[in-house]
Amino acid sequence: MKRLIAGGLVIAAAALALTPAASAAPTPAADQPLAGLVIALDPGHQLGNSNPANFDELAKTHFNGYETKICNTSGTATNDGFPEATFTWNVAQQVKAQLEALGADVRMTRHSNSWKKWGPCVNERGAFGAKVGADLMLSLHADGADSSGYGFYVMVPSVIKGWTDDISSKSIRLGKRFVAGMAAAGAPRSTYVSGQMMITPTISTLNFSDVPVILLEAGNMRNATEARRMRDPAGQRQYADWIVAGIRAALRR
């Protein structure tokens, strides 16, 4: 089995006699709306996934509940070579800082963007959210679609018995809120994915998760307008702002 089910906790009837004030959960302060939440951030890929020295490791395969896939890939890039791994790393640093300022405990699946390093493999990335006790895991990517298309969309897990049947419905629900929140903050919606959401059984990072999970394609690196924004530090800050708005909408904080 992929996961273990924790046993329930029996609460004595006497405990139910607590006054509302004594039993109510603490309310986060207005300036710390994410206090008490753990958010796992997964900056997609790693710069060294393009390094031939790491190809043997990256070629190792894992069954994801639906099909067998390799450990990881190099990701895409803009037409002039700006890598997805660097874009996701830069934006994730800013998202992390903003979420922590709002009170969240943020954990990262990788801690560098290095030509010498590879992975982690997608099975490790997917399992990371449960490992750190995350309330939500967000895997951050950018697409490499036809240059005529632009805008963001998300992917969430469909139901695979014994793998994602415990998180699919909540991931879909949070994913819809995330899309609405990003769009309301000004992020351009995808012109080539209907409803800006794909419910899919094929993505290993999603399938290996045991907490609600969203994979974001923040934009299309092959679209000239979006590529300029993704390379630009000011544009990366804008993506971070949009993503934080999406996370807050997903968590209703």
132-181 confidence digits (pLDDT tens) = 999 999 999 999 999 999 999 999 999 999 999 999 999 999 999 999 99
Task: Please tell me the predicted confidence (pLDDT) of residue 30.
Answer: 80
Q: What is the DSSP string of 47-99?
A: GGGG-GGGHHHHT-EEE-SSSEEES-----B-TT--BHHHHHHHHHHHHHHHH
Residue 31 DSSP label: T
User: What is the rounded CA–CA span in Å between residue 234 and residue 250?
Assistant: 25
Is it the case that residue 128 has pLDDT exceeding 50? yes
108-121 confidence digits (pLDDT tens) = 999 999 999 999 99
27-86 confidence digits (pLDDT tens) = 677 889 999 999 999 999 999 999 999 999 999 999 999 999 999 999 999 999 999 999
Helices (H) and strands (E) in the chain, counts: 8, 8
User: What is the rounded CA–CA span in Å between residue 145 and residue 131?
Assistant: 33
Task: Please tell me the predicted confidence (pLDDT) of residue 17.
Answer: 37
Task: Please tell me the predicted confidence (pLDDT) of residue 29.
Answer: 77
User: What is the rounded CA–CA span in Å between residue 213 and residue 175?
Assistant: 8
Task: Please tell me the predicted confidence (pLDDT) of residue 31.
Answer: 87
Beta bridge partners of 155: 198, 215
User: What is the rounded CA–CA span in Å between residue 244 and residue 248?
Assistant: 6
What burial class does residue 68 get, using C-beta atoms within 10 Å of its C-beta: 0-12 exposed, 13-18 middle, 19+ buried?
exposed
How large is the C-alpha radius of gyration of the chain?
Answer: 19
83-104 confidence digits (pLDDT tens) = 999 999 999 999 999 999 999 9
User: How many other C-beta atoms are found inside a 10 Å radius of the C-beta of residue 190?
Assistant: 23
Strand 153-157 versus strand 213-220 pairing type: antiparallel
8 A C-beta contact, residue 247 and residue 178: yes
Percent of the chain whose predicted confidence (pLDDT) is above 70: 89
179-214 confidence digits (pLDDT tens) = 999 999 999 999 999 999 999 999 999 999 999 999
Question: Given pLDDT bands bounded at 50, 70 and 90, which one contains residue 4?
Answer: very low
